[in-house]
Amino acid sequence: MSSPIIFIGMHRSGTSLLGRLLEQLGLFVGEKKDENNEALFFLELNAWLMSQCGARWDQPEPISDLWKEASKTVLSSSKSYVRELMNSPRAARYLGFRRYLRYRSIPELSVPWGWKDPRNTYTLPFWLEFFPNARVIFIERHGVDVAQSLCVRASRSVDTTTKRYEQFKPISWVYPKRGGFSDSPRCLSLEGGFSLWESYQYQALDQLENFPENRIFRVRYEELLSDPFYTLKGAASFCGLSVLDERIRMVTRTVNPDRACSYRKNSELLKFAEAQEDRLRLWGYTP
């Protein structure tokens, strides 16, 4: 058995990039994943766990209710349910068919493994109950770039759902909409996305406050882009991956350094960053 690598950090902060790079170096991060390289098995469980408190990825704060004494029974039952899933045929959703036949259980994995999901930032205490020796990768990114990326994605989603509604409007009464027009109204504005970034930042530091230093790998997205070889080599070693330097160089050839602090190329975003100077400096960032 080996303990997992659990990725934490805000959405749009580079967790997908780092996860994909480490996966190419041998870290197993799940068989069935979504477009953000997030293992569906753990992503769905994180979303389910948060939903019990009325929380979700862009309104995560209510999950704190789950750790309160009044929710003791709910938490205990949730742990029992998840434990059963990880030791059942359902585990094949993460392991894949061949690995399931070999291990039969996710905790029995004997290779470097883990999963990335920004929701881990809030659900980490839950997973540490199962994997007390887990190691954590915490990746950060400049808050204005995060807010802009969230805003672009949220606006694109609204455009898509609105156009689809207009296209099928005459028969909308026959097939009522299952979802809304926006996945996250909070992220439709720069301030909304920025405040969400702050929430994840504070939560991550709170989670890691008493965590053993040798089980934390903290990295900035900007560092990964400016010096991908050195950063990835350190991350690979942290994950227990034995990789030749040449392999790391080959994997990092696709990393684009121009994506670092891209907000500076936009006058509107730069103005917004300057207005948030005090809030940014708390995290070691400047406009």
DSSP-assigned letters across all residues of 110-175: -SSBEEE-TTHHHHHHHHHTT-TT-EEEEEE--HHHHHHHHHHHHHHHHHHHHHHHHHTGGGTTTS
Domain limits for position 71: 5-281
% the chain with pLDDT above 90: 90
Whether 130 is covered by a domain: the verdict is: yes
Asked if residue 255 has pLDDT above 90, the reply is: yes
Query: Which residue, among 47, 194, 187, 24, has the nearest Cα to 126 in the 3D structure?
Result: 47
Contact of 137 with 5, CB cutoff 8 Å: yes
Q: What is the pLDDT of residue 172?
A: 80
Phi and psi, residue 186, nearest 5°: -60, -35
Asked if residue 173 has pLDDT above 80, the reply is: no
pTM here?
0.94
Asked if residue 178 has pLDDT above 80, the reply is: no
Whether 83 is covered by a domain: the verdict is: yes
Whether 287 is covered by a domain: the verdict is: no
- 126, two tokens: 């839950």
CATH number, domain at 227? 3.40.50
Report which residue type is found at 196: L
Whether 286 is covered by a domain: the verdict is: no
Average model confidence (pLDDT) across the chain? 95
Residue 1: pLDDT band (50, 70, 90) is low
Q: What is the pLDDT of residue 165?
A: 85
Round to whole Å and give the CA distance between 50 and 154: 21
Asked if residue 175 has pLDDT above 90, the reply is: no
pLDDT digits (tens, 9 = 90+) for 154-164: 999 999 989 98
Query: Which residue, among 176, 134, 138, 180, has the nearest Cα to 157 in the 3D structure?
Result: 180
Whether 107 is covered by a domain: the verdict is: yes
What is the number of domains present in the chain? 1
C-alpha separations of 170 from 37, 160, 179 in Å? 37, 17, 18
Whether 215 is covered by a domain: the verdict is: yes
